[in-house]
Chain A
Amino acid sequence: MITVEGLTKRYARNVAVNNISFEVGKGEIVGFLGKNGAGKTTTMRVLTCFLPPTEGKASVAGFDVLDQPMDVKRNIGYLPETPPVYPEMEISDYLSFVARLKGISGADIKKRVDEVCERTALGDVRNKIIGKLSKGYRQRVGIAQAIIHNPPVLILDEPTSGLDPEQQLHVRNLIASLSGDHTIILSTHILSEVEQSCSKVIIINEGRIVAVDSVDALHKRGRATEIVAIEVSGADGFTVKQKLEEVAGVARVVSRDSKSGNVAFEVEGLEGSFIRPDLARTIVHAGWHLTELRTVGESLEEIFLDLTRAEKTDAKTDSKKEAEGSAQ
């Protein structure tokens, strides 16, 4: 549905997006993850034909953004970072205006406005002036205008930023309800959002893509061995530790602080071993109470920070090498 190949966008002084390539298939929800200024908005603006690319190609629904911008625009619904609403207009007037702009025929406009108002739960306030709405409602109006022409591709730039937790949840549910019919790219720097809504993640840092993967695959990334957190009550730490170290496949046992007064450990298995059942059996056989046993996955936050940091160090060494090279 969306293909980006070697896309570069340069502004007068800096490079916002540097030679990125990715693909998004039909019906996928893709999270575009990156810090502020990483190049998310620029990429989205290129995809929506708001900005022309400096180099490279991008196409949406089979149409090239440079050669067939009108076709691309017809197939895209776009919510910019700040919802593009006219504060002096009423919601229904505004949505009719957008519907007309998107080329919906006069007879269908009312029907479509009713539909999106219902879908975004704007029915009760549709005759209110947009300027008087709360931020959450304004964001919903923004989403309503993006889906009014029922486009196959939705591009949402930070759809939940600045909303309170309840509003965030509402918007997230709304996005989830849109999946299936639509291919969605949404940018965010809230990682839990990606975990909840997206099937695939693109992590971008300083204009480069550092990872394209599914959320599950990202969690497993960089972790060949299993780490299990264990909490045991009714025993002293030293004995338990000794017992656990004897279990087959255990590489290391590290004591952990426990708040409840129990003894707690992090047990790392050898590569390829599956140690959880054996650990549980050992503890139960010894007559202790097993209060907790779970696999510790690396959080998306850690992965994200690792990836973006690694990129930075790489870039630094690269530039160092370059500097050395030019000195020679």
Chain B
Amino acid sequence: MRNVLTICSKEIKSYFVSPIAYLLLGLFGLISGYFFYSATAFFVMSGLRQQMQGSQQPMSINEYVIAPLLGNSSVVGLFLIPLISMRLFAEEMKSGTIELLLTSPVRDWEIVLGKWAGAMAMYLCVLGVSALNIATLFIWGSPDWRPVLTGLLGLALQGGCLLAIGTFISTTTRNQIIAGGATFAVSLLLWVLSWVTSYNEASWAQVIAYLAIPTHYEPFAKGVLDTKDLVYYLSVIFFGLFMTKRSLESLRWRS
């Protein structure tokens, strides 16, 4: 476990001593800030209009601001995650530092877990920006906090899945751009798989839709914590990390 922490903290430092962390935080802050401002402004305007029309129905800030904001964050995450994961192993293989890791008394799974956890920490920092936006809503309003928490948890798990896949892809090439591009392609594919059910109701279509990542996010966004979805996310993470470990082992036999 000590080795996992060593590698993880080194990864986090690497993000923050390079421009990557600031670029990601800046970009995400800008985009999610814009979404937050638009959603809140729209909410305020609609609220005023409803009051003028004398409507008695209260408007839910969770429904109008928080849910769309989290939904947008998950889509932006789709673009940012490959940028986080692409360097994990590709960079080490290119610079030769992988020899240091693989010849140190550290087990392969410790390396894999440490790397993934480091990337995950970086991603959580990015999500933190989104959480900060939402936190301001609690100052002036009283949104329901449960869907906020489950939504953030859903985003974290979703990110964990894509990062695990990205970590695996990063072990297959020395080229960071290829790793990033391939991770983006695979992530996007996992995203749009859910569209299948919109034109086909057959059971195979259901299975494919089940594999899609957003399918499992919807309950989280609504504040529902379903074991089925938790199991899905955790097993994708496990599978991704397992494949990474295998790929790392095969690196010894391949190179």
Interface string of B182-197 (1 = CB under 8 A from A): 0000000000000000
**Residue among A81, A100, A103 with max Cβ neighbours from chain B (10 Å):** A100
Residues in A with CB closer than 8 Å to B51 are none
Q: CA A97 – CA B104 in complex, angstroms?
A: 11
Q: Tell me which residues across on chain A come within 8 A of B18, comparing CB atoms.
A: 88
How close is B252's CB to chain A, nearest CB, in angstroms?
A: 6
Q: How far does the alpha carbon of A88 sit from the alpha carbon of B14 in the complex, in Å?
A: 7
**Chain B contact residue count (CB 8 A cutoff):** 25
Q: Which of B97, B103, B105 contacts A50 (CB 8 A)?
A: B103
A51–B2 Cα distance when bound, in Å, is 25
Could you tell me if B13 and A50 are in contact, using CB atoms closer than 8 angstroms?
no
B224 interface residue per 8 A CB criterion: no
Cα(A102)–Cα(B107), bound, Å: 12
A84 touches which of B2, B96, B105 (Cβ 8 Å): B96
B99 adjacent to A74 (CB under 8 Å): no
Contact B6 A52 (CB under 8 A): no
Determine if B106 is an interface residue (Cβ-Cβ < 8 Å).
yes
Cα separation A73 to B102 with both chains bound (whole Å): 9
Residue of A45, A51, A86, A101 touching B104 (CB-CB under 8 A)? A101
Task: Check B3 against A101 for contact (C-beta < 8 Å).
Answer: yes
Q: Which of A76, A97, A145 contacts B6 (CB 8 A)?
A: A97
A50 and B10: CB pair below 8 A?
no
Let me know if A49 is at the binding interface, CB within 8 A. Answer: yes
- Residue of B96, B106, B107, B252 near A80 (CB, 8 A) is B96
Residues in A103-132 with C-beta less than 8 Å from chain B: 103
Contact of B202 with A by CB under 8 A: no
Q: Are B6 and A100 in contact (CB under 8 A)?
A: yes
Provide the residues of chain A in CB contact with B14, threshold 8 Å. 86, 88-89
Minimum CB–CB distance from A162 to chain B (whole Å) comes to 14
Q: Are A145 and B100 in contact (CB under 8 A)?
A: yes
Q: Are A86 and B99 in contact (CB under 8 A)?
A: no
* Closest beta carbon of chain B to A146's beta carbon, Å: 10
**CB of A248 within 8 Å of the partner chain:** no
Asked if residues B252 and A101 are in contact (CB atoms below 8 Å), the reply is no
Residue of chain A at shortest CB distance from B249 = A52
Min CB–CB distance A22 → chain B (angstroms): 20
Whether A101 and B255, one on each chain, are in contact in the complex, defined by CB atoms closer than 8 angstroms, is no
Interface 1/0 per residue, B152-177 and A, CB below 8 Å: 00000000000000000000000000
- Residues from chain B with a CB closer than 8 A to the CB of A82 are 95-96
Contact B105 A73 (CB under 8 A): yes
- Does B17 make an interface contact (CB < 8 A)? yes
Q: Which of B10, B107, B252 contacts A51 (CB 8 A)?
A: B252
B101: interface (CB < 8 Å): yes
- B58-110 residues with Cβ-Cβ distance < 8 A to A are 95-107
| Contact present for A101 and B96 (CB under 8 Å) | no
Judged by a CB distance under 8 angstroms, whether B253 is at the interface is: yes
B97: chain A residues within 8 A (beta carbon) = 84-86
A103 and B105 contacting across the interface, CB-CB below 8 Å: yes
A43 beta carbon closer than 8 Å to chain B? no
Residue of B with least CB distance to A48: B103
Task: Looking at the assembled complex, report how far the CB atom of B174 sits from the nearest CB atom of chain A, in whole angstroms.
Answer: 13
**Taking the complex as formed, is A98 at the interface, i.e. its CB lies under 8 A from any CB of chain B?**
yes
Contact, CB under 8 Å: B17 / A88:
yes
B103 contacts A93, C-beta separation under 8 Å: no
- How far does the Cβ of A85 sit from chain B's closest Cβ, in whole Å? 7
Question: What's the least CB distance linking B107 to chain A, in Å?
Answer: 8
Within 8 Å of chain B (Cβ to Cβ): is A78? yes
Q: Which residues of B have CB within 8 Å of A50?
A: 99, 102-103, 252
Cα distance A138–B105 when bound, in Å? 23
A275 to B137, CA, bound (A): 101
Residues of A within 8 A of B13 (CB): 89, 93
Shortest CB-to-CB span from B89 to chain A, Å, is 14
* A70 at interface, CB cutoff 8 A: yes
Which of A78, A80, A84: most chain B CB closer than 10 A? A84
Cα A76 to Cα B97 with chains together (Å): 16
Residue of B whose beta carbon sits closest to that of A100:
B6
Q: Please, which residues of chain B bring their CB within 8 A of the CB of A102?
A: 104-105
Q: Shortest beta-carbon distance, B119 to chain A, in Å?
A: 16
Measured CB to CB, the nearest residue on chain A to B110 is A101
- Residues in A49-65 with C-beta less than 8 Å from chain B: 49-52
Contact status B10-A97, CB under 8 Å: yes
Interfacial residues, chain A to chain B (CB-CB below 8 A): 45, 48-52, 70, 73-74, 76, 78, 80-82, 84-89, 93, 97-98, 100-103, 145
Known contacts A48-B103, A101-B106; can you find 17 more A-B pairs with CB under 8 A? Answer: A49-B102, A50-B99, A50-B252, A51-B252, A70-B105, A73-B104, A74-B105, A78-B100, A78-B103, A82-B95, A84-B99, A84-B100, A89-B14, A89-B17, A100-B2, A101-B100, A102-B105
- 10 examples of A-B residue contacts, CB within 8 angstroms: A49-B102, A50-B102, A70-B107, A78-B103, A84-B95, A88-B17, A89-B14, A101-B7, A101-B100, A101-B101
